[in-house]
Amino acid sequence: MKRGILIGVVAVLAVVAATVATVTVMSRDRRVPLVVRPTPSSVPPTQLASGPVRAPLSGALLGAWVRPDSLTQTGRLAALDSWEKLVGRRMDVVNTYRRFDQDFFESSDRTVAARGSTLMLSWASEDTRQVAAGAFDSTLVARARELKAFRAPVLLRFRWEMDRPNLRSTVWAPADYIGAWKHVRAVFAREGATNASWVWCPTAEGYNGGYAQPYYPGDDQVDWICADVYAGNKLRAIGDLADGFLRFAAEHPAKAAMVGEFGVARSWGDQRAPWLRDAASTFKAHPQIRAVMYFESDPLDNAGANQQFELADDPAAMAAFKALADEPYFNTRSASRK
């Protein structure tokens, strides 16, 4: 009897060991343990709800925002070409930022789309109360018609990071934001602009603090659930940083999830590469995440190395990102696209 119990215990321990792994990320002041759940290889492929930009059946699309030296059409393309040469492949998704009153598509965007990459338009907003009241409908109609004429499916992040405290004076309360979101979607639908997947994307800090979730417009309004996740002022494992986001996404299991921006700050030096390797493991451990986008930029308006995320001039960190990009899990599209 005791022998049978012992064999049973050993069997259970073997299953646990096969399905749970522990990854350790170095921090300046401590080692941060992260429990990685079963790898996606054990998860059957599923088609998650994601709108016109269809999420892959398994694995994740890989993309980036690459800040150009000059905000010209040739500058944008040169920056992206340089990045893709370093990474060794084309990006599945190319992120770009638009003011509310700015045309959606420029010549560089059309070139990127013609190469086979999906565009993600991160679109700012005017005062949400005024948007919801129809004060900017002429602008909405113009953008909707432009999108419809473009035809190709795009990811549309309307007023991403709406939960940031510095946006309160224009975003107002969650009800105001949701009202604006629904109004914008209704105008686009009325104009026949149905080729956008609508991406709702607060900050990871907002999820963890519980103040992002009230801005959610609803499952019938959102195609991709998203978060922006950074190791900036604090170096913590990305699974820890994104914990609130992962929990919220799990509460909406039919929805595709996305990391709209992620980055590890220059200030973390030789710990950047381990952080990126852990990020790859974390993404793979959460198969609801079907797209991830790196923020390859040292923003000019953000002073200090804690807000600088460019990898191109950091050989070790760049090698870690390239290793991520080479993994089959992040190569869900044809190898001919590389």
97-113 pLDDT, tens digit per residue, is 999 999 999 999 999 99
What does the mean pLDDT of the chain come to? 88
Domain positions in the chain: 21-337
- Asked if pLDDT for residue 259 goes beyond 50, the answer is yes
The confidence score (pLDDT) of residue 210 equals 98
- Asked if pLDDT for residue 243 goes beyond 90, the answer is yes
Residue with tokens 């953008």: 143
How confident is residue 44, by pLDDT bands cut at 50, 70 and 90?
low
The one-letter amino acid code at 232 reads G
Please report the beta strands in the chain, taking only residues with DSSP state E, as ranges in sequence order: 21-26, 31-36, 61-66, 93-98, 118-123, 154-158, 196-200, 224-231, 256-264, 289-296
The confidence score (pLDDT) of residue 8 equals 41
Token pair belonging to 34: 């992260």
* Residues 227-247, mean pLDDT to the nearest whole number: 97
C-alpha distance from residue 258 to each of 27, 194, 201, 293, 301 (Å) = 25, 20, 8, 8, 26
Query: For residue 291, what are the β-bridge partners?
Result: 61, 258
The confidence score (pLDDT) of residue 73 equals 95
Exposure of 111 in the CB half-sphere (CA atoms within 13 A): 11
* Contacts of 189-192 spanning 24+ positions with Cβ under 8 A: 190/144, 191/141, 191/144, 191/145, 191/148, 192/144, 192/148
- Asked if pLDDT for residue 141 goes beyond 60, the answer is yes
CATH superfamily, domain 21-337, is Glycosidases (3.20.20.80)
Alpha helices per DSSP H over 63-102: 73-87
Q: Which residue has the higher pLDDT, 300 or 172?
A: 172
C-alpha distance from residue 188 to each of 175, 181, 198, 233 (Å) = 20, 11, 11, 38
* Residues 264-280, mean pLDDT to the nearest whole number: 97
* Cβ atoms of residues 230 and 164 within 8 Å: no
- Asked if pLDDT for residue 20 goes beyond 70, the answer is no
* CA nearest neighbour of 234 among 206, 197, 265, 272: 265
- Asked if pLDDT for residue 32 goes beyond 70, the answer is no
The confidence score (pLDDT) of residue 14 equals 38
Percent of the chain with pLDDT over 70: 85
DSSP conformation class of 306? G
- Asked if pLDDT for residue 145 goes beyond 50, the answer is yes
* Beta pairing, strands 31-36 & 21-26: antiparallel
Count of Cβ atoms closer than 10 Å to residue 115 Cβ: 14
Query: 237-271 burial, b for 16+ CB within 10 Å, e for fewer?
Result: bbbbbbebbbebbeebeebbbbbbbbbbbbbbeeb
How confident is residue 124, by pLDDT bands cut at 50, 70 and 90?
very high
273-319 pLDDT, tens digit per residue, is 999 999 999 999 999 999 999 999 998 776 689 999 999 999 999 99
How confident is residue 197, by pLDDT bands cut at 50, 70 and 90?
very high
